[in-house]
Each structure stands twice: as C-alpha cells, then as structure tokens.
Amino acid sequence: MISHLEPTFTYGDYPTEPLASAVALDADTTEAEALALIQSAWAQVEAFTNRTFRPITAGKCIVKVASPMPFQWPRHPYPAGLSVEVLAGGSWVEHRETYIPDLGQVELEPFTTYRLTQQGTIAGNIPAPHVIEAVRNLATYQAIQGPVRREFKSQSTGDSGFSRENLMGLMYGSGAGALLASEVRS
C-alpha cells in the first residue's frame, strides 16, 4: 500500500489537433476560449486514460510504501530509465533498485522514502483519430455547458487535479468516454 505519493511532471506542447477554430465555430465561442478548453480536455483525457499525449520533459515521484510492492510509474509511456534515490539522514542518497521499463515498475521496500526521477524526455503517445475526436467532443461539450465543468475538478495533490472517478460523468455526457474506452490503462 502506498502511504505517500507526490508526482511532479513538466510537460511539453499540447498536440496541435483538434483545431481551436473548429471548436469555436461549433460552440459559438472565441478561439482563445476554445484553445483553453482544448488544452483542458487534453489534461482530462490524459487523467482518464492514464496515458500522456504530450512529451514529458521532466518527471519525479516521491513515494513511500507500507509494504513491499512493485510501484508503477504513474504515466504511460514509461521512461526508459529511472534514477532511484532514498532519503537517508536528511539528504537524498543514490540507491539501486530493479526497474522494468516495459512495465514501468520498480520494486520498493517499506518504510523508505524514495525519489524516482525519469531519465531524459519521454515522447508522448501519438493520439489516434478517435482520441482527437474525444478531445474535440469534450472541449465542445464544456464550451456549450459552461460552468458545469467546475464540478469535475477535484482539489487533490499531484500532477493533475482530475481523477478518473471525477471525470466519469463528463466523459460519458460528452461522448468522449466511449471513444476513449480502448485507451484506458489501469
């Protein structure tokens, strides 16, 4: 069981599709508002699917577990390598743990605070046409519905203020949930 998790990610640019002008035309809003909603929709889709569609230029997780367990890196695609450090005597000390890049897993021991840092930049998944359509539907739906989007934002810590559970109603109301069903990773 994870007793503490603090992920921090720095992302690159959003995908260039869907076009803000198309969403603005469909929702009768400004292009600037449509662009903001598209970017918000990308973040929501990433949280819902547990996949990243934009590059991650830097990533770090501080994690502590209560029992021996494999810890899975919180975003797919997983980094090719991780730097593992443990907190000892008030400073971070390099530590050796086995990391399996294909699974994004590292075996952690209990009662130790770890700092896992990705090595290099991770290219995001290339969004399939149905993912782009889901983002478009989601942005258009939120532009038309207006303030209702605030209901799906939670005040949690981490790299995103969204959780899959918070987004369920929004995803299914906009039709994006059905389009993203094949993309969801556990």
pLDDT tens readout for residues 90-106: 889 898 888 899 888 99
* 112 contacts: CB under 8 Å, gap ≥ 6: 64, 65, 86, 87
Instruction: Give me the pLDDT at residue 163, please.
Output: 57
pLDDT digits 0-9 by tens, 146-172? 654 444 444 444 444 555 555 666 666
- pTM of the complete model: 0.68
Cβ atoms of residues 112 and 101 within 8 Å: no
- 34-70 burial, b at 16+ Cβ within 10 Å, e below that, comes to bbbbbbbbbbbbbbbbebbbbebeebbbbbbbeeeee
Alpha helices per DSSP H over the chain: 20-27, 31-49, 129-145, 164-174, 176-180
Exposed, middle or buried: residue 4 (CB in 10 Å: 0-12, 13-18, 19+)? exposed
Q: How many other C-beta atoms can be found within 10 angstroms of the C-beta atom of residue 74?
A: 19
Query: Which stretches of the chain drop beneath a pLDDT of 70?
Result: 146-186
Instruction: Give me the pLDDT at residue 166, please.
Output: 59
Residues in the chain: 186
Instruction: Give me the pLDDT at residue 154, please.
Output: 45
Instruction: Give me the pLDDT at residue 157, please.
Output: 45
